[in-house]
Amino acid sequence: MSSGIERIAVVGGGLIGSSMARLFVENGLKVTIYEPDKAARGRLDQTMRGWALGSRVPAIHAELEAALCGAQFVLEAAPERLPLKQALLKEMEIFLAKDVVIATATSSLLVSDMQVGMVHPNRLVAAHPFNPPHLIPLIEVAGSESTSEEALATTYGLFKAIGRRPVRLKREAIGHIANRLTSALYQEAVHIVSSGIASVADVDDAVRYGPGIRWAVMGPHMLYHLGAGEGGYAKYLKHLGPTQEARWASLGKPRLDDSTRQMLIDGVNQEAAGRDIEQLCADRDQGLLAILQALAALNNEPLNEGIQ
């Protein structure tokens, strides 16, 4: 590990915490997991048996002190409730040296809010993965004005070293980057369905077989740069910017009321066509792996050995 970090503690063994633990282990790191719920520990143990990690299986602890002992870096993935995270962070500091970075996987909370009550708030960094994080490379790194540059650099360097694609926010924002973008898309996806423009399945297919394919290769700014032809982005913004503003003005503001929720649920059930969550996740992961393989080939890069 070029980052110098060899021992990581993951606090929270749920969906994100377990997937992050798998990512770390598959990249040669020694991992411990804190999970206070007995039933959750049982589910986690069963899940890990399917990872084919051999002797590298993370140690699961019911006590926080035991999980944090010797940790050089901590990934917090507790439930997304601010009071819970604040209390947990304060307790974690009791068992950690002051220079150990704590990275929170929060998807929507602000680091500045989570730092309230911490003895060493400068150590707290947001390191938001995208589900499932053991496959999807994105890690969004952010801090508050109180977060140290060293903590940010350590977090960025660690994830870079294990083959992730970290991006760094210039300032903290609710939802970071990707969730803000996906929320904007989802808002209009709901509006299209609720206003009777198209079905759930057709909206999903329009994304999958249209812009979604392009977005896997390039981001929106670069794609508009290409879309204008000669003259690039400057030409696009000058000549086609007004058409974008017209579309922005026509976007909907749907409400997730009872009737809208039921319409969306019925549409998703129809699209799933009898496949349960486990099968849908397997289909998703198979597709993600194929896309990652294609991107690795396109960029002339090796596929992360941990991905399987």
Q: Which three-class secondary structure state does DSSP give residue 253?
A: coil
The 10s digit of each residue's pLDDT in 237-252 is: 999 899 999 999 999 9
pLDDT tens figures, 76-91: 999 999 999 999 999 9
Q: Structure tokens of 26?
A: 């598959």
The pLDDT of residue 1: 43
Rounded mean pLDDT, 265-276 = 96
Question: For 31-51, what is each residue's pLDDT tens digit?
Answer: 999 999 999 999 998 888 878
Q: What is the pLDDT of residues 114-170, one digit of tens each?
A: 999 999 999 999 999 999 998 999 999 999 999 999 999 999 999 999 999 999 999
| Non-local CB neighbours of 81 within 8 Å, separated by 6+ positions | none
Output the CA–CA distances (angstroms, integers) from residue 288 to 118, 132, 216, 284, in the order listed.
38, 10, 10, 6
Determine the pLDDT at residue 127.
98
Task: Grade residue 190 by pLDDT with cuts at 50, 70 and 90.
Answer: very high
Per-residue pLDDT tens for 222-239? 999 998 888 999 999 999
What is the value of pTM for the model shown? Answer: 0.90
Which pLDDT score is estimated for 46?
86
Topology (CATH) of 7-168 = Rossmann fold (3.40.50)
Nearest CA to 162 out of 188, 127, 186, 192 is that of 127
Domain spans in the chain, listed from the N-terminal domain onward: 7-168, 178-274
DSSP state of 124: E
Averaged pLDDT, 19-40: 93
Over residues 109-115, mean pLDDT? 98
Mean pLDDT of the chain: 93
Query: Coil, strand, or helix at residue 162?
Result: coil
Measure the CA angle with vertex 174, ends 173 and 176; round to 5°. 65
Q: Which residue has the higher pLDDT, 124 or 53?
A: 124
**Helix axis angle, 258-272 relative to 178-194, nearest 10°?**
100
pLDDT-based confidence at residue 307 (cuts at 50, 70, 90) = low
5 has pLDDT over 60: yes
Q: Does domain 178-274 have CATH number 2.40.30.10?
A: no
